[in-house]
Chains A and B, each alone.
Chain A
Amino acid sequence: MNVDQELVRRVQAGDKKAFDLLIMKYQQRIIHVITGFVHDPVEAMDVAQEAFIKAYRALPGFRGDSAFYTWLYRIAINTSKNYLTAASRRPPVSDVDAMDATIYYDAPELKEFETPESSLMSDDLQQAIHDAIQELPEDTATAIKLREFEGLSYEEIAQAMDCPIGTVRSRIFRAREAIDKQVKAVMGGEEL
């Protein structure tokens, strides 16, 4: 089952809570995309909110021709551009060119932007995540790597590791708990 599709179907059938799940799942990523245009973090959150609202309203007409995220991504970029136009600010020329090239794709993994600020912060974090994965038991580390870096499904991981799917699920869960712990430690108790 395609979980996104099913959630979309439920929102279309009137279940608002199902839309919450879609927001929770994609908000970080969408904000990340928007930050490529709208650099101010507070404004970026506003634009993200607007994008999700637009998506919600347009959802009855969403026919699932593309993946939900791809569709949402387009809306986010369009909303960002509209926002910049409205604010009479022009996005940096190079950004626009690069984005134009990708907007029209039905792509689940579209090119996303990294702002200088976000790159700066990622060193410590990346190190923390790396350390967390290093310290995991081998099976757990392999499972999370296959999932997050190789993009394999649970079934494919189960095949690759010759174990039941339930084991894959619990390994990935344990890896995420460990990563979360490590990240929190690095962030010096900062509330996440």
Chain B
Amino acid sequence: MTIKQQELLSAFVDGELNEQELDELLALMKSDDSAKQDYMRYQFSSDLLHGYVTEHKQIDLTDRIQQALSSDEPGVNVQPTENTQTAKVFALPDWFWKQTAGLAAAASIGALAVVGLMSQPQTVMPTTNMAQSEPMQQQTQVADSNRWTVGESEVEDRLNDYLVDHNEYAGASGLFSYARVVSYGEE
């Protein structure tokens, strides 16, 4: 395995390959067992950083999946049953319909309100995901320009109200302008 080849494997973790490199990668995977091992190491280190690793172990399901698939041809073209299966994924839960009715009603009576748009992340219940799996991410937020550079939540809330109100008039960013609201404070 050359350094160049290892770099190729690492670039695949990031989806940063052109078509020719993808061909190379596939050929490499087919011809060299250590390619897979190296790739798995790089992928694992990336997964670790994102907190996707649930067990200490690096897991590999490729063999058992391929086995299951080959004992189970014609795999690829099994359509009808799977279609009904995946259709379920898109079924909407009951509360959704309840909620949309509420939304429509609110709109039709012309309810008006302008309130604090975004509650403070500090006062928000932190999910374990946020709090524990991404501590490093928080350390890199110093230069974050995605939030108002103010210390107090009360002030930040007020500025957020203003941000929403101002957006209606934002300039040439036009159709994109509410993106600032949608992505406020996200990392």
On A, residues with C-beta under 8 Å from B are 1-4, 6-7, 10, 14-18, 20-21, 23-25, 27-29, 31-32, 35, 41, 44-45, 48-49, 52-54, 56-61, 74-75, 77-78, 100, 103-104, 111-119, 121-122, 125-126, 129-130, 133, 145, 147-150, 153-154, 169-170, 172-173, 176-177, 179-180, 183, 187, 190, 192
Q: Are the CB atoms of B85 and A54 closer together than 8 Å?
A: yes
B95 CB, min distance to chain A CBs, angstroms: 8
Q: Interface size bucket, B side? A: 35 or more
Interface of B is mostly: helix
Q: Are the CB atoms of B12 and A28 closer together than 8 Å?
A: no
Other A-B pairs, 18, CB within 8 Å; known A24-B43, A129-B49, A179-B45: A1-B17, A20-B62, A23-B62, A24-B39, A28-B43, A32-B53, A53-B68, A57-B75, A61-B79, A61-B86, A78-B88, A100-B93, A113-B128, A118-B51, A122-B132, A133-B136, A145-B140, A149-B140
Q: Are the CB atoms of B83 and A57 closer together than 8 Å?
A: no
Q: Which residues of A contact B135 (CB under 8 A)?
A: 126, 130
Task: Name which of B43, B45, B62, B66 has the most chain A CB atoms within 10 A of its CB.
Answer: B45
Q: Are the CB atoms of B22 and A60 closer together than 8 Å?
A: no
What are 24 A-B interface contacts by the 8 Å CB criterion? Answer: A1-B19, A1-B22, A4-B15, A15-B26, A17-B29, A21-B29, A27-B60, A48-B61, A56-B75, A56-B76, A59-B76, A61-B83, A113-B129, A114-B51, A114-B132, A118-B53, A122-B51, A125-B53, A129-B48, A148-B49, A176-B10, A176-B45, A177-B6, A190-B57
- The closest CB in chain B to the CB of A111 belongs to B129
Q: Are the CB atoms of B82 and A58 closer together than 8 Å?
A: yes
- The closest CB in chain B to the CB of A147 belongs to B14
Query: In the assembly, what is the distance between CA of A23 and CA of B132, in Å?
Result: 26
Take A20-B66, A56-B76 as given contacts and tell me if A28 and B56 are in contact as well, using a CB distance cutoff of 8 Å: no
- The closest CB in chain A to the CB of B138 belongs to A149
Query: In the assembly, what is the distance between CA of A7 and CA of B139, in Å?
Result: 35
Q: Which residues of B contact A121 (CB under 8 A)?
A: 55-56
Query: In the assembly, what is the distance between CA of A121 and CA of B15, in Å?
Result: 28
Q: Are the CB atoms of B12 and A3 closer together than 8 Å?
A: yes
**B147 is an interface residue with CB less than 8 A from chain A:** no
- The closest CB in chain A to the CB of B37 belongs to A192
Q: Are the CB atoms of A130 and B136 closer together than 8 Å?
A: yes
Take A24-B39, A169-B16, A170-B7 as given contacts and tell me if A60 and B76 are in contact as well, using a CB distance cutoff of 8 Å: yes
